[in-house]
Every structure is written in C-alpha cells, then in structure tokens.
Amino acid sequence: MVPRHLVGAMLALGLGLGCPLFVASALPQGADKERIDKLVSQLGSQVFTERMAATQELDAIGAPALEALKKAATSNEPEQRRRAEELVARIERRVEAQRLLAPTRVRLVCKDTPVADAVADLAKKSGVNVILTTPAQAKERRVTLDTGEASFWQALDLLCHQGGLIEVGSVDVPLRVGDIQPPQAAAGIGQVLLADGKPLDLPTQHAGAARIRALPPNTPVLASPRGQGEILFALGARLEPRVQFQSMKGAQIDKALDDQGQDLMPIAASDPAAPVDQPVFIGNVGGMARGIVGTGDHQAPVRLKVGSKPSKTIKELTGKISAEVRTAPEPVMVVDDVFKAVGKTVKGKQGGTLTLAAMERQDDGLFMVRVELQPPPDAADQPILRARIRRGALLIQPIMPQGMQIQVQQAGGGFGFVGDSMGITLLNAKGQTMQLVQTPSRTFKLANMVATHELTLVFKPQEGQGDPARLVYSTARIVTLEVPFTLRDVPLP
C-alpha cells in the first residue's frame, strides 16, 4: 500500500512541491519597474507607515526588485540605504536558497522491472549515486510504477515503497590512524544506499532538493535526555548529494497541534544537531581500525511541553529546518589587467581581500605571481581549520588570544594547506585557465583572528594561450538555508 504522503505525489507530480520556498507566486499587482521605483523611493519616506508598507511590498516582489534596491543601497539618504541593504541581503538569501534547493526532476517508469534495474535506472536519470547493497535478495522481485515528473526524493520514496527497499542509515568502514574522514567511496558519503526491507510510513515533506520527515518514535535521539514535562523526538533531513550538507543547525517549531486539540509549546533546543557523516570508532578488527559512518538523515531534536492531556500524536507540526550547506566553488574576487594591477587590492562582496603583490614573466616562459589573500568569512575551506601532513590527516582548531600572531612557512613541501593554489587561478583574455606548476612558498599569519595567506605561485601557459589577463580567487561558501515544513500525524514516543 502506498503511504498517504506519497499518494498526492503520484497523482499530481509536477503541480508543485508542497513547500512555500518552491511555489512560484505571481508578483503583486502593478509590480512593474515604475511601481518598484516608487516603492524604493518610499523607503526613505518621512512617514513610518509608508516606509514599512514599501519594505513589505518590495520584500514580496523579491528578485525583480533587486536591481533598484542595489542602487538604493548606495543612496546618501541613511534610512533608504539601510532598508535597501537589508532587503537586498534578505532577497538574495531567498533567491540563493531557491537555487540551491531546486530539485532534480526525474520520471521513473517501471513495468514488471527487476528492482535492481529500477534502482540503476533512477541513478542514471537523476545523476545520484544510488546503490542497492543487497542485489541478490532483490534479484527476483519486480516493480511496476510510473512516478510522473517527480523530484528525486519523491521518486526514491515511491520506488522504495513499491519495491520493498529501505535506506541504509550507516556503514562499517576501515579507518586509518589520523584520518579526518574515511575514503568517500567506502563511507557512502555522497551516495544513497538501499537494502531489502519493509519501508516505514513516515510523515514526510518533500521540499525540492530537501526531504524532511519525522523519524520513528523509537529512534534514539542524539541529544541531551528528555527533561521532566517534555516531549522529545527527532526530525530527519536529507539533501540531494549535489547539495553538500555541512551541518544541521536545528529545527524551529512554529506550531504543534496534538490529537487532543492542544497547541503544545515548543522548548528552545540548545542541543547540537547530530552529525551524520563523521566516523565513530568501534574497535580494532584484524589489525585494522574500523568505524561506523552514518549515511542517512541528519537529525534535529524537537522538544515540546506536555499538555494537560496525554498526547499520542501531533496532528500538525509546522516549522523550519535550518542547515548549513556548502555551495559549489565560484569566483568571489577578481584582479583584471594583471600586469598593470601590481599592488592593487580588491575586496570581496562578502568580505575578504585579494592583493596582487607581484606579477613577473620569467625567462623560461613561466609566470610568477605573488598574492596576499584574506578569505571572506563564509569561505568553506578556511585553511586554518584544516591542514594536511604528508602521512596522514590532521584537524587543527587553534584558539588564539587577541593580538597573537602565528606564522607557518611551507618548507620543501613537507607541510601545506589543503589545495595547492587555495582557489587562485590565472586566466588569459579568453578566460582559459593556465596550468599551476609550482607553489614555491606559502605563509600564513593570524592576527586578531584575521587570517592572511601569502602565496607565491608559478603558472605555465598552454600552447596558444598567450599572456595572462586576470587573477581569480574562487571558493565554496557556507550558506545557511531555512526549509519550511508541515508534517501531519507525527507519532510520539
């Protein structure tokens, strides 16, 4: 039997994702350029109610208002500038969330198809590494379904329920001494692992590239124990592997209506969210350390105050899941016309600086570049937090007094930060990347908790590339996303 939360998906896939983040709404009536310009000018109105009304309407208009708002953010009028800056930041976060959480769309059609073949077809169509870990047991079982146009998570859940499959929540992997994390292939990170089993009918919200669901009542909640007068259970969240989950920040509960008609009050959770993909050491087997790595849902504890009557289920649970994700690397600072830009410093939109300290053409046809880099605060790979030693991996988390300085100099390749160029590339006028052939030196300084990296890089142009034109610093960023959800009939422990 198909679970309740999947029936609508089978009947009306493609009509929407059931999540406010992804429903395309019409612009407010009259939200053309003239209307937007008028609203932007009202941000600096002398009348408070006009300022508030303009702010709210521009927020509702969203992305089409960004160009006018960015211009107003440079205004000489303080109130208009402040409100425009806040709106730009808010709307851009929302636009980025929609971009990151846009679902992979697939249509899976199976007619008396072997389950293993159906899993392989889903993996091929979605581009997600979906692996059936017990193909022998599923060899003779067949499945018939048509998902319609579905998000990846919708299609996966339908296939699991029709094909008698469950997601594997953890895997046993070998660990080397000093590893930060085990090899990706072994750990199942970036994979969706399936096995034979009876899938549970869990209250679920499909929200584009995200899936949020209430975990079974008997799930051990990886949080501090339940307090007196509390209800404690866990929500689980997964993102498509292409959106790299950095960490779960937690769940904000807006409404919790139980089966007795009681509106249960949420208790602010101070529990750290449970990580999924870090190895937990479990012992030494045959001379090799082994660990368990989670591959399933990231867990967020939910705490509610008990009502005057005993609660068995939450009939309606609404709120937001907050998570940090890692974006794909993108250019954040660019130095143009490099031979004329020596000594120039460019600033990143989100902070950070890149200074071109030297640019030299060597006799052997190579180009030597010396830069000073202060990564933006939201850079995903701050080298101070992750360093590498030649024969192993090491996690570095220094705690420095204000004003203290640390300097690390690479010597003979024995010590270096992860990533030889730290995301710095040299391009020609056509945007072609030149080959990095050497990193003679890297120096790291920390002063007042501001990291500065001095790098000397040597690049080799490929045949026909000509002279370099641009120096680009690219980095992945850590972005906080909020995903709204509504879950119904959530069973309580």
Q: Return the pLDDT at 243.
A: 87
Task: Give yes or no: residues 366 and 321 share one domain.
Answer: no
pLDDT at 315 over 90: yes
Q: Which of 265-274, 328-337, 406-415 has the lowest mean pLDDT?
A: 406-415
Contact between 469 and 428 under an 8 Å Cβ cutoff? The reply is yes
Q: What is the per-residue pLDDT across 360-403, written as a single tens digit (0 to 9) for each?
A: 999 999 999 999 999 998 887 654 433 333 333 333 333 333 33
Burial 266-287 (b: 16+ CB within 10 A, else e): bbebebebbebbebeeeeeeee
Q: What is the per-residue pLDDT across 21-39, written as a single tens digit (0 to 9) for each?
A: 333 334 454 468 899 999 9
Domain-embedded: residue 374: yes
Task: Give yes or no: residues 352 and 432 share one domain.
Answer: yes
Q: Return the pLDDT at 174.
A: 62
Domain-embedded: residue 5: no
Task: Give yes or no: residues 177 and 95 share one domain.
Answer: no
Task: Give yes or no: residues 344 and 312 share one domain.
Answer: no
Q: What is the per-residue pLDDT across 98-121, written as a single tens digit (0 to 9) for each?
A: 899 999 999 999 999 999 999 999
Q: Return the pLDDT at 320.
A: 95
Q: What is the per-residue pLDDT across 77-102, written as a single tens digit (0 to 9) for each?
A: 999 999 999 999 899 888 888 899 99
Task: Give yes or no: residues 356 and 304 share one domain.
Answer: no
- Looking at 100, 126, 149, the residue that finishes a domain is 100
Task: Give yes or no: residues 171 and 268 share one domain.
Answer: yes
Sheet order of strands, 230-239 included: 204-207, 210-214, 230-239, 298-305
Task: Give yes or no: residues 356 and 343 share one domain.
Answer: yes
pLDDT grade for 134, boundaries at 50, 70 and 90: confident
Q: Which of 6-20, 146-160, 315-329, 478-492 has the lowest mean pLDDT?
A: 6-20
List the structure tokens of 235: 């929500």
Domain-embedded: residue 50: yes
Task: Give yes or no: residues 244 and 343 share one domain.
Answer: no
Task: Give yes or no: residues 179 and 315 share one domain.
Answer: yes
> What is the CB-side half-sphere exposure of residue 73 using CA atoms within 13 A?
12
Q: Return the pLDDT at 181.
A: 44
Instruction: Name which residue leads in pLDDT, 145 or 400.
Output: 145
Mean pLDDT for the chain overall? 81
Q: Return the pLDDT at 171.
A: 63
pLDDT at 178 over 50: no
Contact between 205 and 170 under an 8 Å Cβ cutoff? The reply is no
Q: Return the pLDDT at 272.
A: 56
Q: Return the pLDDT at 394.
A: 35
- Looking at 100, 123, 153, the residue that finishes a domain is 100
Residues above pLDDT 90, as percent of the chain? 54
Task: Give yes or no: residues 249 and 315 share one domain.
Answer: yes
Domain-embedded: residue 161: no
Instruction: Name which residue leads in pLDDT, 395 or 63.
Output: 63
Q: Which of 1-5, 204-208, 224-228 has the lowest mean pLDDT?
A: 1-5
First-residue to last-residue Cα distance in the chain: 24
Domain-embedded: residue 432: yes
Domain-embedded: residue 242: yes
Say which DSSP state 385 is in: G
Strands 288-294, 170-175: pairing kind: antiparallel
Contact between 55 and 87 under an 8 Å Cβ cutoff? The reply is yes
Q: Return the pLDDT at 96.
A: 86
Taking alpha carbons only, the member of 262, 260, 206, 273 closest to residue 487 is 206
State the residue for tokens 């790098």.
455
> d(Cα 316, Cα 367) in Å, to the nearest integer?
63
Contact between 427 and 335 under an 8 Å Cβ cutoff? The reply is no
Q: Return the pLDDT at 477.
A: 85
The residue range of the domain holding 41 is: 18-100
Total domain count, the chain: 3
Q: Return the pLDDT at 16.
A: 35
pLDDT at 50 over 90: yes
Domain-embedded: residue 95: yes
Q: What is the per-residue pLDDT across 208-243, written as a single tens digit (0 to 9) for each?
A: 999 999 999 988 887 778 888 999 999 999 999 888
pLDDT at 244 over 50: yes
pLDDT at 285 over 60: no
Domain-embedded: residue 160: no
Task: Give yes or no: residues 179 and 90 share one domain.
Answer: no
Task: Give yes or no: residues 305 and 341 share one domain.
Answer: no
What sections of 32-65 are H helices per DSSP?
33-42, 48-61
